[in-house]
Amino acid sequence: MAGFSGDETAPFFGFLGAAAALVFSCMGAAYGTAKSGVGVASMGVMRPELVMKSIVPVVMAGVLGIYGLIIAVIISTGINPKAKSYYLFDGYAHLSSGLACGLAGLSAGMAIGIVGDAGVRIRFRNMCHPTSTPWRDLALQFLSLLRRDLP
Amino acid sequence: MSTAASSSWGTALVKISPYTFSAVGIAVSIGVSVLGAAWGIYITGSSLIGAAIKAPRITSKNLISVIFCEAVAIYGVIVAIILQTKLESVPSSQIYAAESLRAGYAIFASGLIVGFANLVCGLCVGIIGSSCALSDAQNSSLFVKILVIEIFGSALGLFGVIVGIIMSAQATWPTKV
């Protein structure tokens, strides 16, 4: 094909980058929300007053979805061959940026889910008394590793 | 002739009609969204019905979790309808023009985004809805608190719809010459 430069297919990679940014971040956000939410609900059966304080992992996971949304919108509004020529270079750049954002969001979401679930359950188990704070619990944990006779 | 001409991706992609991509995108947007909704409803529903054996009071309140999952399917239907209104017929000389190809890719990616975002949203809401039903059966003060978590989960489907609609605005076909 004379004059075929491959740049017509560049938007394919660009739009796929935007899709990857959102879809993978949402996967991470969903995993984080679901896993920590199950932990919060399990803990809440024993201690209902702690539920609202333990919503932090869920909020953190929700923020990941917003990151993916922002990157996806930035990428998809940047694909405008009429305003600025869109070469294969731009397509690949958008694809890689979308994958970077999305896969990082996926991993972060999985980490938030696992840590949130475990943390919420440990918070209940290791509490010394009902008005304990997280720092106090952590400090007591570390101290108890150093000194066996501390509870 | 630029070196990009030797790209095998490019030569393969440019032979596929943009209408193929558009049709697959529209199908994925509704099909995978409904898959997510159904998955969420079955996770929530089975827990709800099981927990209601010992605590029948929870049934009417916890139907809201099922409604959140259903909303995900509705998002998929709405976006599929919007995407199919973006399809225009172009003269056969223009089908493989750069602008038509871009429109096809935009509809495809938009459908993918909406479909898979709704899939994970449906799953998330289903899992949380099931724990909501089970903890509500134990202690009815927990229902509203776990519902807050479920609302965070259902926002993910909305993100997908927002980006899908913004991206579908990029689907401009060449005007008939």
- Scanning B40-69 for CB atoms below 8 A from A yields none
On whether any CB of chain A is under 8 Å from the CB of B23, the answer is no
| Domains detected in chain B | 40-168 (1.20.120.610)
How far A142 CA lies from chain B's nearest CA (Å)? 31
Contact check, Cβ <8 Å, B166/A29 = no
- Within chain A, strands assigned E span none
- What confidence tier does B114 reach under pLDDT thresholds 50, 70, 90? very high
Q: What is the pLDDT of residue A132?
A: 55
Longest dimension (CA), chain A: 82
Are B149 and A8 an interchain contact pair (Cβ–Cβ within 8 Å)?
no
DSSP assignment, residue B175? P
Distance CA A29, CA A108 (A): 8
CA distance A102 to A23: 7
pLDDT per residue as tens digits for the range A64-113: 999 999 999 999 999 988 888 888 899 999 999 999 999 999 999 999 99
Nearest CA in chain B to A60: B152
